[in-house]
Amino acid sequence: MQVISKISRQKNNPERYNIYLNENFAFAVDEATLIKFGLTKGKILDQFEIDEINYEDEISKAFNRALHYLSYQMRSEYEVKKKLLDADFGEAVILEAIRKLEKLGFLNDETYSKALLETKKKTAKKGPRAIKQDLIKKGIDKDTQIKVLDTFTYEEQVKIAMELAQKSIKANSTKTPMQVKQKVQDILMRKGYSFSIINEILDQIQLEREDEEWQQLIDIQGEKIWKKYTSKYMGSELHMKVKQALYQKGFPLEVIERFIDEKETQEHE
């Protein structure tokens, strides 16, 4: 048996107290643990009680460390657990600290997931597939993933995907409609939208070109292709290679043939 001979408040941390047993420093506890176990001068403690007090204090320290970590931004349970493991807290202590955090409302994976969904939608304009990967990285369980992602409506996905599409269209004004649609499809796939959403967006966007616009486009892209192949081919073979390259980029045949005719005329002048 050991007797508490002295209790003193720590100078550097007034919320923690040093406990002395039989005139020797034994351990430190926070105020909540001090009150919970009724630690006062003269109290007799056996080893089991001392171990229990130390265990409770470890939980308090883990809880406070997690609370500090959560003060900067919302975190998932997985992130908090990893942070505490990195700080060398034991599994049992971490579990108790996390339960306490959840009970007090400081930690909730569903609330966290909903917030993450809203952030990824608004700032990164991500689709469900990409957001699902973010949730997986944060250690969110499958049922919570499904529950949260189900709130991302089809109509909302179309709206955000269309915003991305319009931005891509504007950035690729010197491309053919086929090239622009490929760019739109690529970005929507990277952002995690489904094929049904992508197809709906591609069906909705109008990318018709006037004759003058086609001429401007082929003047830009055609010239580069012509220079590329003139160093390797001549005559009909050159014309065929250029025609194939421009057709693959989405240029109409009549626009391609007019371009090649113009290049032939220039060569013979």
For 98-111, the pLDDT digits (tens) are 999 999 999 999 99
- Helices within 205-252 (DSSP H only): 211-230, 235-248
pLDDT surpassing 80 at residue 213:
no
Pick 154-204's CATH classification: 2.20.25, 1.10.760, 1.10.10, 3.30.390: 1.10.10
pLDDT in tens, 109-133: 999 999 999 999 999 999 999 999 9
Domains 2-103 and 109-149 share a fold: yes
The two most distant CA atoms of the chain are separated, in Å, by: 112
Q: What is the pLDDT of residue 268?
A: 59
Q: In residues, how long is the chain?
A: 269
Domain extents for the chain?
A: 2-103, 109-149, 154-204, 211-268
**Identity (one letter) of the amino acid at 137?**
K
pLDDT in tens, 53-107: 999 999 999 999 999 999 999 999 999 999 999 999 999 999 999 999 999 999 9
Per-residue pLDDT averaged across 28-34, rounded?
A: 90
Cβ count within 10 A of residue 267: 8
Among 30, 63, 36, 59, CA closest to 49: 36
> 216: which 2 tokens?
């401007």
Q: Is the pTM of this model over 0.85?
A: no
Architecture of domain 109-149: Orthogonal Bundle (1.10)
Architecture of domain 2-103: Orthogonal Bundle (1.10)
